[in-house]
Structure 1
Amino acid sequence: MRITDIRAPRGANKKIRAIGRGVGSGRGKTSGRGNKGQGSRAGRDFRPGYEGGQMMLFRRLPKRGFHSRSSNPYQIVNVGSLNKFAKGSAVTPDNLFDEGLIKDKEGLVKLLGDGKVDKALHLKVHRATESAVKKIQDASGTVEILKKS
């Protein structure tokens, strides 16, 4: 086999449709732009949803609810999912990442109080709810709040 024998897969190279090549081609005269109007002119460029000066649909429809401009920066970890760790171990964001409980090692971690923990763990998180701290302390563990960096 030589380099000259290699070809693109079937259907990879499509023939470009020729426009403006005579009335008989089916794409001649106005070249698929229709007759007159904004779309037929050179330099036509109008944003998606534009309706020729009519009030656009997305502006006519009522808006409901609150849409936060910023997403929640915290990754949630529940107390019940901490039973994976050995008794007395220190649980940091790195350990949580290694166990697959959070997706971003560098991100902020918040501890919530859902579930039960039956081991004494020493947690280092960026935020924790009161119920989560109480459950950890009841299991004779500690919660240290890290500073956001």
Structure 2
Amino acid sequence: MNLSSLKPAAGSVKVGKRVGRGQGSGKGGTAARGHKGAQSRSGYSRKLGFEGGQMPLQRRLPKFGFNNINRVEYKALNLDAIQALVEKTGAAVVTLDLIRENGLSAKNDLVKILNRGEITSAVEVQAHGFSASAIESIEKAGGKAVKL
């Protein structure tokens, strides 16, 4: 075997259609593009979603809903996660920095504490928001909820 004897596997290379090479080829005249119309012309490229002049699907369907530009998104954090964090680190104050260091929220997240699970440690919890029941649970355990 040498470089001059290399060739592709049998059947892997397909010879392209030679169109527009006379009537005897069967693909002469219109070059298999049909008669007239945009698709027969050079330079034609169909727009995305074009349906031949029929009203396109994205225009037939109605618009609905809206995005409220004033919406404030919070990262929800439950009491069971706070309790696990306290057990893991032994912290007396749960700050946003401590929450971020342990991967419970991202750098720019607003954090809201919710009341799933239970908290048994008397800790001060600092966050951007609290549910009323979460504040109640934290204070019942002897802790303090500090809203930033």
TM-score by length of 1: 0.62
Q: Which amino acid aligns with 2:74?
A: Y
Tell me how far 1:99 sits from its aligned partner. 1.8
Q: Does the CA contact (< 8 Å) of 2:125 and 2:144 recur in 1?
A: yes
Gaps of at least 5 residues in structure 1 are 1-17
Quick one: percent identity of the two aligned structures?
34
Q: Which amino acid aligns with 2:60?
A: R
TM-score by length of 2: 0.62
Q: Does the CA contact (< 8 Å) of 1:20 and 1:29 recur in 2?
A: no
Render the CA deviation track for 1:78-122: whole Å, top value 9, x for unaligned: 1111112335522122211222222x1222111111111111121
1:134 to 129, 133, 136: 136
Is 1:145 matched up with 2:147? yes
Gaps of at least 5 residues in structure 2 are 1-15, 23-27
2:93 to 90, 95, 107: 90
After the TM superposition, which parts of structure 1 deviate over 6 Å for at least 4 consecutive aligned residues? 18-22, 28-32
Equivalent pairs, count: 128
Q: Does the CA contact (< 8 Å) of 2:20 and 2:30 recur in 1?
A: no
Give the aligned partner of residue 5 of structure 2.
none
Give the aligned partner of residue 114 of structure 1.
116
Computing the radius of gyration from Cα coordinates, the structure with the larger value is 2
Partner Cα distance (2:78, 2:94) in 1: 13
Give the aligned partner of residue 57 of structure 1.
57
Tell me how far 1:130 sits from its aligned partner. 0.6
Partner Cα distance (2:110, 2:124) in 1: 17
